[in-house]
A and B are shown apart, each in its own frame.
Chain A
């Protein structure tokens, strides 16, 4: 199934992929920090959660609760992981972008 991902959805899914590869269990703060660090965009936790909520609705990511910690005021983390459908959608999106930019390196000064 062809799934069109929004710009911010792509960022969230990419971040999720990277954080998972680095061995972590991605959650709100780490995703938010990663996107801010890499894009310079001032991203709010609310926006990240809203997007994750939508992605979970679409079945592209799944979530589970972790253990409560003291520095979080005894609250649990909500961990996210990329589902197979999410992986597929992300791959399609990135491929589409690659195809569109192909040969335009000079013009875009990439």
Chain B
């Protein structure tokens, strides 16, 4: 095995004679010796030493002046600057070439920078946690229900505290919302994190002012000690430090502000939180009230793996001890980074990283071709210099310097592209964290690094081929058209580009089909014609179920009387877009299927709901005013529940079942109707559902829903109606359902936009590369074509020859690209919906597209070749 030539070239480029000779000799000698310990090791050691050598010995005078300088090339800082100055001049002198190169680089670097900006908060930026590696995040899992990042209940947390030896402390928190009064005119709805008293300590937070939670916080009898989120403190209290000690009312209970959180905590969903309050630890809470996110500080010596094993063991004991609530449930511990991001997110980031990486490679291949073409056009000049004793490094250095200048310019422009892309994403995004992503220090470092590395990639091949042909040959006949080898190298580059572009198109087309599939899914509700808002009745003035039910009835009545509103309802929570609330269904005889505890997604609705949401009753009856608190308890189930649990709609009507939820007595209900399905929050599936009359299951927090042909115009009316009925109740989330859907889909839209944009970019760059190479080779072969035609070759035969040259390269590239596309498609399978990773239609369409674009790219040079005038070409100018 021979020493790596590229590494030797790196040394030759950066280390001056005479040191170069001895260093290269040393490297060779060591390489021979190292090979006895393995080729890979020897190869790696050579590279490492070569890079270290280049690093230490570049940019300084070669050796003290003991030897004559003469023709030897003194590698000095000055000459590097000279190179760059010269390069700048060359770049300005050929503006066409420079513009194409800079634009190509800018697009590729811009794409990479854009993705890096999006990924960096998840990947490189420090998490807002003091010691993320010292934490384990406990999650519950339920395989049959496809839950893999579930939460835990308070008794689970208490068990973990008492029995899990992997953790020295275990904390938990849950999201909540409440009405805050006392600091301004209107009562305000705030989002809260309720955490155990040790949460801020385990998490490792530091307050900006005041204090965080203390051990006695949250115990019954204590006033609520609240820590404000930084943005809330800024917006509502103008960053006033005297806010500490302020008394406010939270849901009517006294609250004292004790501290303010730091702003770097506002990452991801945490940016939605207004304040943090302590919660009591109640070991006797419901075992299946899985509302808590749980985190523990790892004990010395414990790892995520050991904690995971221990938690898993504990969860198996729970399943054995509490089959009613823990059947099918397990639990496990994961690291902070894993807990903060879902597997799907990582996979999508990886796919996008592959895509932009390919875009960069395609751009590099284009530039490598450009640089090689330039080297060929300067070959006489180079040959003369070589004949006069210039080394390969000397021949290559100006090219490297020029490429670096182009790349830096491209990087700067690419930064601009990335900035524009981010602005678009900020505008489209819904999640607050996506709205704030911008170019920061990390991104600048990334751009600088990629701008320096890229020219190294695309100068590799040209550098290898430079000075390969002997100068004598070149000088003898300056009109030869580049060596056979260089043509083959260019063809390989283009085939590679076609392969990369095609595989990207495959992946992107799959992603788009997946998005279209998701968009096409009928959610089962009239998304386009509804508006909604949410509120909670204060417990002091609406103390009884009767009062709440009465309010719900009068609100839906008042709303439906507004002009332009065709139907209105009050419901417990929004279907499709809000999380599911489930009840177990008892009293079903499911022969032999006792493993599967029957359950359904539960909704309490006023009678107008089905008309408002556009959900048809397909069997039995809907709810009416007669289904009041005192009448017979009834329920409506959806078609999925009817099919799954009763074997169809007809057998379900009239059946009595028991609904069991946590924190409430079991209630027997009679099924009186079957409704059409609406989708679950994960819209690719439909859960069994059960609807009950709001009057029979009243509650304080309600969601109002109205149907109108132009829902956006009705939102002021909704506010007015609510103010008329009770002006002291704050409303939140007043929006059209369409807006909610758009926000839900915003991340998908952004991701698919990126996939499409990058794929189009890749195809354009690859087509440009193909066109460039074919027309260049036609230009080089002008003489040959002239001779052929003079000897009587048919012009259409010439055209065929050029076309087939180009298409042969394309075909090879397309074949490789299909294979690559299949592999990446397989990788993407978990995030694809409604389309197979090897969907034949996609593969065919994409291949045809690439072939069509290739034919277009090749056609122009082919026609030009056909029209050549043999007499002129042979006269030879």
Contact = CB atoms under 8 A, between A and B. Distances in A.
Interface of A: 27-29, 32, 44-47, 49-50, 53, 56-57, 65, 68-69, 71-73, 75-78
B19 interface: yes
A75 B28 contact: yes
B207 to A, nearest CB: 44
A81 to B, nearest CB: 14
Contact of A71 (B23, B24, B28, B49): B28
A29 B57 contact: no
B25 A44 contact: no
B22 A27 contact: yes
Contacts of B27: 45
Interface in B7-35: 18-19, 21-30, 32
B25 A75 contact: yes
A71 B29 CA distance: 6
Contacts of A77: 22, 25-26
Contact of B26 (A47, A57, A72): A72
A73 B64 CA distance: 25
Given A45-B27, A71-B29, A72-B29, A28 B56 contact: no
Contacts of A50: 56-57
B23 A46 contact: yes
A79 B26 CA distance: 11
Contact of A27 (B26, B54, B57): B26
Given A45-B27, A49-B57, A28 B52 contact: no
B52 A45 contact: yes
A65 B21 CA distance: 10
Q: Which of B26, B56, B63 has the most CB of A within 10 A?
A: B26
Contact of B18 (A47, A69, A72, A78): A78
Contacts of B24: 73, 75
Contacts of A75: 21-22, 24-25, 28
30 contacts: A27-B22, A28-B26, A29-B26, A29-B29, A44-B49, A44-B56, A45-B27, A46-B52, A46-B56, A47-B52, A49-B22, A49-B53, A53-B63, A56-B63, A57-B64, A65-B18, A69-B25, A72-B25, A72-B26, A72-B28, A72-B29, A73-B3, A73-B24, A75-B22, A75-B28, A76-B21, A76-B22, A77-B22, A78-B18, A78-B22
Given A75-B28, A76-B22, 20 more contacts: A27-B22, A28-B26, A29-B26, A29-B29, A44-B56, A45-B30, A46-B52, A46-B54, A46-B57, A47-B52, A49-B57, A50-B57, A71-B28, A71-B32, A72-B25, A72-B26, A72-B29, A76-B21, A76-B25, A78-B22
Contacts of A65: 18, 22
Interface of B: 3, 18-19, 21-30, 32, 48-49, 52-57, 63-64
A53 B53 CA distance: 13
Contacts of B19: 49, 53, 78
A56 B48 CA distance: 25
A1 to B, nearest CB: 19
Contacts of B54: 46
A46 B29 contact: no
Contacts of B53: 44-46, 49
A58 to B, nearest CB: 10
Top 8 nearest A-B pairs (CB, nearest first) are: A75-B25, A46-B56, A44-B52, A46-B53, A78-B22, A72-B25, A46-B52, A28-B26
Nearest to A33: B30
Contacts of B23: 28, 45-46, 49
Contacts of B49: 44-46
Q: Which has the most chain A C-beta neighbours within 10 Å: B3, B29, B32?
A: B29
Contacts of B63: 53, 56
A21 to B, nearest CB: 22
Nearest to B27: A45
Nearest to B53: A46
Contacts of A57: 64
B666 to A, nearest CB: 71
Contact of A29 (B18, B30, B56): B30
Nearest to B48: A44
B181 to A, nearest CB: 67
Find the residue from A50, A65, A69 having the highest chain B CB count within 10 A.
A50
A71 B24 CA distance: 11
Nearest to A68: B25
Given A27-B22, A28-B23, A75-B21, A49 B29 contact: no
Nearest to B61: A53
Contacts of A32: 26
Q: Which of B22, B48, B54: most chain A CB closer than 10 A?
A: B22
Contact of A49 (B3, B30, B56, B64): B56
A77 to B, nearest CB: 6
Given A57-B64, A71-B28, A75-B28, A46 B22 contact: no
